[in-house]
Amino acid sequence: MSTLISNIGLLVTNEPERLERQDAALVIENDLVAWVGDSSKAPATDSQIDAQGSCVIPGFVDSHSHLIFAGDRSDEFEARMIGQKYEAGGIRRTVRLTREASDEALRRNAERLIGEARAQGTTTIEIKSGYGLTVKDEARALKIAASLTPETTYLGAHVVPTEFADDPAGYVELVTGEMLEACAPHAKWIDVFCDRGAFDEDQARAILTAGKTRGLGARLHGAQLAPSGAVQLAVELGAASVDHCTFLTDADVDALANSNTVATLLPGVEFSTRQPYPDARRLIDAGATVALACDCNPGSSFTSSMPFCIAVAVRDMHFSPFEALWAATAGGARALQREDIGGLSVGQRADLVILNAPSYVHFAYRPGVSLVRQVISA
Ligand SMILES: [Zn+2]
C-alpha cells in the first residue's frame, strides 16, 4: 500500500542539505517516507492525498510531558497571575490527588491530553511518572504511560514526598533501590528534578547513575528556578537532554555547545509562571542543540500545544520561525535520541502534518489559530 501526498506548496524535511522544498510531493509506503521530490515527477501510487498547495511538516516531537496525574491547579495559576511566585511544592498537591485516583481515571486523563496534542500536530510524546512517589504508584504510572508511548521516563525524583520530609536521604535510597527495580521494566529514561526545593546535584548524580546502571538513559530537569551545577552534571553524565535551562552561566552554555546533550526549552512554563524566558539565542548562537517541548503538567505549564510553544519561542525568545519549527521536530527527536522521527527524509517514519496554511511561519504569525488540517502517523 503506497500513498502519494501531492501538490505540497512547501515541504519541510529537515534534511541537512535541503531543509525545505517548494512544489513537492512525498510517497508513504509501510508507514515510512519512500520518496520525496518535485510534484511533477511523483511516481504512481495506490492512493493520493491532495495537499492543495499547503505546507507539510514533520509531526511534532514533544520530548517532555507529565501526563499521568489527577486534579486541577487552576487556582494556583490564578494566584500567580495576581502576583504570587511559583515554588516546586505545588507538585505535592498533585501527588496526593494522583495517589487517590483509579488507574482508569489516570489513563483517561492521559488519553484526553494525548488526543489534544495530536489534534495540534504532535505525533510523538514523552511521558514521565513523578506524581506517585511510592513504589506502587510510580510503577503504575509508568505502566499506564508505557501503554501510550514508547518514550517513558521514570521521575521518582520529582520532589521528596511529604512522608520523607525528615529523611530525604532515605527517599533517595528508595528511588535508587526498590522503586527503580519496580519502574525500570516500564521506562526508557530516568529523570531528576535538580533544583531549589527538589534534589541537589549530589542526589541527582546518585539517582541518574543508578538508573544508567539499570539500563535507563539519563535526562534532567535543571536550572529552572536558579543557576546550579545541573546543566554541567547532565553533560558530564552524557544525558540526552537537560530541560528548562532558564538560568544559565557561560560555562553551562559552553558545556552544552560542546556536547550531544540537548537543551530543551519549555516556554509554556515561563508563560504560565511569569519567570523570565531562557536565553535561547545565546544557546543557538553558541551551537548548542535546542529542542522545544510543552512540559504539559497541571502546575507550571498546562498546555499540550506545540504550535503555542512555537509562537512564544518566535515572539518572545527570538527564535526564527524555522529554528522554532526545527526545535519542535528534529530537536525533540534528538532529545529522545531518535533518528526515525523529527524529519521527512526517505526512510524516516511518515509522521507528518498537513497544515491549513502555506507556511510554518503561520504558527507564530497566526497565534492561537488551529492550522492543522490532517495528521498522519504510523
Ligand atoms: Zn517537567
What's 212's domain CATH number? 3.20.20.140
pTM for this model (two decimals): 0.97
Same domain, 79 and 152: yes
Among 354, 378, 363, CA closest to 6: 354
CA 190 to ligand 1 center in whole angstroms: 12
Among 54, 128, 85, 105, CA closest to 353: 54
Confidence of residue 83 (pLDDT cuts 50, 70, 90): confident
- Main-chain dihedrals φ then ψ at residue 29, nearest 5 degrees: -140, 130
pLDDT of residue 91: 87
Give the integer Cα–Cα distance in Å for 341 and 333.
6
Round the average pLDDT of the chain to a whole number and report it.
96
Q: What percent of the chain has pLDDT over 90?
A: 94
CA 199 to ligand 1 center in whole angstroms: 14
Same domain, 157 and 288: yes
- pLDDT tens profile 254-308: 999 999 999 999 999 999 999 999 999 999 999 999 999 999 999 999 999 999 9
- pLDDT tens profile 70-79: 999 999 999 8
Same domain, 137 and 210: yes
CA 368 to ligand 1 center in whole angstroms: 23
Q: Which range has the top average pLDDT, 77-81, 220-224, 338-342?
A: 338-342
CATH number of the domain to which 30 belongs: 2.30.40.10
Same domain, 127 and 113: yes
Among 261, 227, 84, 68, CA closest to 153: 68
pLDDT of residue 225: 86
Same domain, 195 and 275: yes
- Say if residue 203's pLDDT is above 90: yes
Give the integer Cα–Cα distance in Å for 173 and 168.
9
CA 103 to ligand 1 center in whole angstroms: 22
CA 66 to ligand 1 center in whole angstroms: 6
CA 337 to ligand 1 center in whole angstroms: 18
Give the residue numbers spanning the domain of 254. Answer: 60-335
- Say if residue 87's pLDDT is above 90: no
CA 39 to ligand 1 center in whole angstroms: 41
- Say if residue 89's pLDDT is above 70: no
- The structural domain count of the chain equals 2
Same domain, 303 and 358: no
Q: According to DSSP H, which parts of the chain are helical? A: 74-81, 91-100, 103-119, 135-146, 168-176, 178-183, 201-213, 230-236, 250-257, 267-273, 280-286, 306-317, 321-326, 332-335, 362-365
CA 2, 28, 117, 143 torsion-angle sign: positive
Query: How many CB atoms are located within 10 Å of the residue 68 CB?
Result: 29
Give the integer Cα–Cα distance in Å for 135 and 133.
7
